[in-house]
Amino acid sequence: MSAAKLTVLVIDDEVQILRLLRITLEAAGMNVIEAETGKIGLEEAARCQPDAVVMDLGLPDIGGLEVLKQLREWSKVPVLVLTVLAAERDKVAALDAGADDYLTKPFGSAELTARLRAILRRVPGENEPSVVTFGDIEMDLAARIVRRGGAEVRLTAKEYAMLRLLVVHRGKVVTHGQMLRELWGPKAEENTHYLRVHMTHIRQKLEAEPHKPRHLRTESGIGYRLVEE
């Protein structure tokens, strides 16, 4: 991967930091896209598909941890968190939310670019697309919108999370246990009736024939699978 071709999205609301990062990254041969809020940052990440993201946690609209969690719902782009928060708990929270590395302000330009190059080397391949289509259904993972035949479909938070899990692992079987752990926690692994109820509602909203689903298939006794055909 050539540094001359890299595009870095910087999400920070401090004008001086934006200016410093632009100077530093452009001097390293990288293209820079700027976003001053979390919302704009997420939109730019979906629109531009950057090679890496450098972001602050103290954003004026959406908290940085929430931005990370939303980004990680659809993208594997390397993320370097750059913030004044130096406590261990803040670093752990950022890493748990999906950051690849963490650097506190003030920072050295050489260390910043070195850390950025390091996380870029650790993350092979291209990002997943932010919009996934199957049949007449379109799921925009960045905007958290589901459409059927061009019309928006309203899903509950749990229905959306369940569908997202299947979309992220499309073509593969997602087991009952995996779904229950991720959506309800480790103590809910025996409550498979939760899944049946929510899957019934999702199919009613998205499938042309809910009782003969084309896309949202049941793998009897195992789990569910999203079929794109």
User: What pLDDT does residue 127 have?
Assistant: 56
178 within 8 A of 186, measured Cβ to Cβ: no
- Tokens for 179, please give them: 């779904």
Where is the domain boundary, 122, 146, 169?
Answer: 122
Phi, psi of 3 (to 5 degrees): -60, -30
- For residues 104 and 173, state if they share a domain: no
**pLDDT tens profile 102-150:** 888 888 888 899 889 888 876 554 556 788 999 999 999 888 899 999 9
In total, how many domains does the chain have? 2
Task: Using DSSP bridges, classify how beta strands 216-219 and 151-153 pair: parallel, antiparallel or unpaired.
Answer: unpaired
Domain containing residue 75: CATH number: 3.40.50.2300
**pLDDT tens profile 19-56:** 999 999 999 889 999 999 999 999 999 888 899 999 99
Q: Taking residues 194-206, report their average pLDDT.
A: 95
- For residues 218 and 137, state if they share a domain: yes
Task: Using DSSP bridges, classify how beta strands 52-55 and 79-83 pair: parallel, antiparallel or unpaired.
Answer: parallel
User: What pLDDT does residue 61 have?
Assistant: 92
**pLDDT tens profile 78-94:** 999 988 877 778 888 88
d(CA 33, CA 35) in angstroms, rounded, equals 7
- Taking 50 as the threshold, does the pLDDT of residue 3 lie above it? no
The CA angle 171-139-144, to the nearest 5 degrees, is 125
Mean pLDDT rounded to a whole number for the chain: 87
Where is the domain boundary, 87, 122, 157?
Answer: 122
User: What pLDDT does residue 5 have?
Assistant: 67
User: What pLDDT does residue 1 have?
Assistant: 42
User: What pLDDT does residue 125 have?
Assistant: 47
- For residues 23 and 116, state if they share a domain: yes
User: What pLDDT does residue 128 have?
Assistant: 61
| pTM of the predicted protein model | 0.64
- For residues 93 and 148, state if they share a domain: no
Where is the domain boundary, 69, 100, 122?
Answer: 122
Domain containing residue 147: CATH number: 1.10.10.10
**pLDDT tens profile 168-177:** 888 888 888 8
User: What pLDDT does residue 221 have?
Assistant: 84
User: What pLDDT does residue 214 have?
Assistant: 94
User: What pLDDT does residue 106 have?
Assistant: 83
- Taking 50 as the threshold, does the pLDDT of residue 4 lie above it? no
Q: Taking residues 158-178, report their average pLDDT.
A: 89
**Which range marks the domain in which residue 23 is found?**
3-122
- Dihedral angle at the C-alpha atoms of 148, 150, 156, 158, nearest 10 degrees? 60
- For residues 115 and 153, state if they share a domain: no
- Dihedral angle at the C-alpha atoms of 189, 212, 216, 43, nearest 10 degrees? -130
